[in-house]
Structure 1
């Protein structure tokens, strides 16, 4: 069967033939003697519904010199004289080349499947022009169904979409054509087709028809599109697409498109097509390849559980065999109209692939000492050990492999003990080694010592280093303001920048490695406290210094001198902890209340009650305190006024002399500063030797 009408079958008529044709017309008026009846042949005996084919008709000089009539007759024999009625179809054109050859164009009215006799006459006078060829042995021209071009050649299973069938002049039938989709060869007549496989054809022109694909066109079949002259049982076949139409599964959207390795989570599979129409118990399988056309029950760990929620939505529980890898595989989600192995057909497939991800576990510690067996706890918010009875783990310098393996260099097997579905203990073996700089190891958890990867430490790596010691701190103390440099001794210290971090009292130090036996650090500001050890963290673990460091209650002031005859001056005071003190009543008139104050004291301030007076009371108050931040404040010193021993403001000038500036959080008498009865809310700041304040004339 032809699939198209070849242009090569249309022959160009030479100009000389046109002249011959004109001569034939001139000679038609002149009577010609009857020629002998004899055999006639054609060079092409087949064609398509709709005609248009060009054939050569030849004889032994029987066609004379005039006009010839040619008809295509579906009757038993050619009529004896030229006729255009009944079963005789007049050729579209006849060109008389010579007495032995005619170029004939097949009429558009020929239809399939009919065998036509080609009848040649000596003229075109109805009922008069005589038949040239033998009536019983006329050449036969057989018309086959046309082979139109389909657009498109596929669509979603279950039909509903429109396609076009296109071929020159194949829809010349006067009645409305009809179509049937058939997995078998097209029947020669319309007959009684299955209702859900029949379709109407809308003629756009004699060349183009539009069909709506019926609902019975489903996977995994391929269909012939059969077009008939009408929808009656006897209507004849005029076009056959020759198995050109293939239904495809509708695409569906997954939500979500990923989940944890090992499955167990639920996803929805949603399509704009009613892909589950009539499907009560869908089957589902996950496949790294293209979805098979029928349900496959093997491997079982890739078969999910599907629940139909509507014609367009199914809920699917992801099976255990859906696992991650490096790089991770992408799974097609394949939905079937049942779960009969090798029988149930594909009705939908995911538009986007589903991927499995490995949960990240937290490590109780990510550092250890070389050649030391170290247990670490791995835990997650996900139940990554659900259903796992014999988990296995590796410490791997390369990336975690998709399945358990210790073949790669830098990979070590680690003993694993399951504690709960979301927690296990991994014991780092003594064989794990360090280098300079030390390698970082991925902690990889597997379902068994031959199973898939089920969890990893992600971006957090485990490191090991040589055992170290941390010794004394020098100097062993300094002011609360910080900023001074200290030196910490030790052994086995790493020297790579960034390999050591340290804190004191929870505050970070700025560390600089010096050698394997020393590093230096800049001390941060800290409230008065101590003695405090230095906490040191290295790739080998966390260590504490054997020596300690103490913060003293020192402040730094500027300026540090005035005259009792001079105008009041502003004093800048730097220390630690000022932001937590209430300085709202520093007017010089309430120096003994519960709020904070800045005093000038002759010697070491002592608020102990001695016969109704402080043992060492302030001489004067620095008033109008303004806190800049936690480490700085400003206040006003007026040496022309002072305080009585009871703390009352007096106009007596402060005697010349050297004083210490003391910041307190509570100005009351008898507030304890030490011992068992110490008031924990009290803070007294004692000046250092460089922070004395002098009143004198200059």
Structure 2
């Protein structure tokens, strides 16, 4: 009967495949149990090279120390699992229902006891610790001797072992995982940069103490992961890892193409090996000797010029195109032998054949030339481990690359000159892929506020962008300008020869004040729109358009058609009438859809073609000798009557002292005054000097009369003329004027006169409600894009939108 052996607590499992892969030194030293973590229903194997198990064995699982003889199985434990396989040195069994894992698949320790029989006179053969839980995997599962490489330990989605854990600590060991983390020291090989990425993933840097021993097979280690780095941090789970004698660089590549790699080691593993052999083995460990046959997929031999010995520590290989398993990244073992005949294994490492990461789109597809905005690159087969993706956009590296999953990553776009359709190049360990026309760099601006009603008067707008201090902002000529445009600004002369621009501004943001190179403020006046040529404000008081025998209308419809295409944007908001009574009274043009189509504010009352429609040219309101103005003032008054809310936005025409096209911005309390958009050029109160009045006479004389003083009312004076007397007539050539009353006493001096004037209010010409874009142009002259080689204008984006709306 074999002697009783206490099996080493078995977290020394194989690195590849289901079997064990241990160094000869470890295999002869103590028995092992694997895999490292076993789920309920999974198979565990106890292997003891020094044992000699009898033909009949039994296994008992429980939480108590193994008794000398096997105990009676119960539902609450201990449990007697089914033995599925046995040799003289190994026993395999299925973990039964009863033992349970910890929270979220974390491991829970049980004692596994091996007996020579299940009978009452059984004898304990040995024992070990079995960890029940949800297995985790390390990726990659092996690495170079001396560590320093990055790996990610990943749990299954249904068992997020790291969820609810604030921090994760890790240690590498060639022995058993301790139940708690303990005190960090060089002996327990604590890795650097352990970071919890999610409930199912932890990233870490392999410590320098993880080294390979002599021999071709990887030296097995166990990664022990704990709940926190404190001494009492409990064991969460564990994963196998192997330290290779040699390392392959790069360690992965596209399965579709040939890839050159180097196999290097810190020790001279090729000393005395002038003609090494090399095999690629998928899904299994390296054979002990060179051979291209086996139970699994046939190894791939690398021969001829694809294998080159460079030195005793370096071998170059040209990896051929490989096959994938289930169209997923597939690990291969790179196996190096003393020769390509019967040579022994002298080194091995891992290489992954994978789909090369392929970008398919960038979102958003455009951004500012200043960069710094977050973009998302979507595609396929992106690495999810940090640091394994690099990329350039328009030849400039992306920064802060953050993997989301294997289909997307985010990054910060770099600064780049304005350019459309630049190329994205993505590089991963599996290769490089290019996406042409991936992204455009725009000369963008951002406006705030981005909406206002046309009745708001002057609106101060903040604009964020770039290069503002270098722009010569002004009011004319080749100065830089800020235009409000419907769509994309086009300053080229229209083809009709009208002098208008192909798509000119509807308004201008003036009084530009750059605060710095990236911010300015300007004032937008929405109550007055520019004319079609963009050279000044549109004046509805002088505008008429008569569409004689040109219009098609349908009764009940607001849409009218001009056969000759005579509608223009100047028609918007203006009153219309028809001598044919085709429309009701009080109708205006709501919108001009095209030169041939327009919308009216009310539907037509008759149908037909060849109809006449007159636009503009009619005042909406007239004031008879009641307007009061002051030269230089923007306030006007009424001596009788009142302004109304409907007058806001309307413009004056044919009114003495008020320039044509001047609009009413607001109405004062009670309606007796109004604020206008431009100051009056003359006042209704003025003075005539050198006046002589004669007692009892209704005539006065003065050389200062010019003929425009009538009608006027005389104010208080020292000439004996009753206040309120009016001038009936003026003869400037004779220097005389007649009055409505005679002077009493007479005298000489000056007279203060008040000349109330008549006025006409026409339809307003505000910027129509709608969505526009603010556009900065470096040169506001017509055809500047054709004549100025340095011309540029900002791009139309969602950030440049400005909406004119009632609220």
Superposition TM-score, scaled by structure 1 size: 0.31
Larger Cα-atom Rg: 1
Q: Which is bigger in relative contact order (C-alpha 8 A, separation at least 6)?
A: 2
Superposition TM-score, scaled by structure 2 size: 0.28
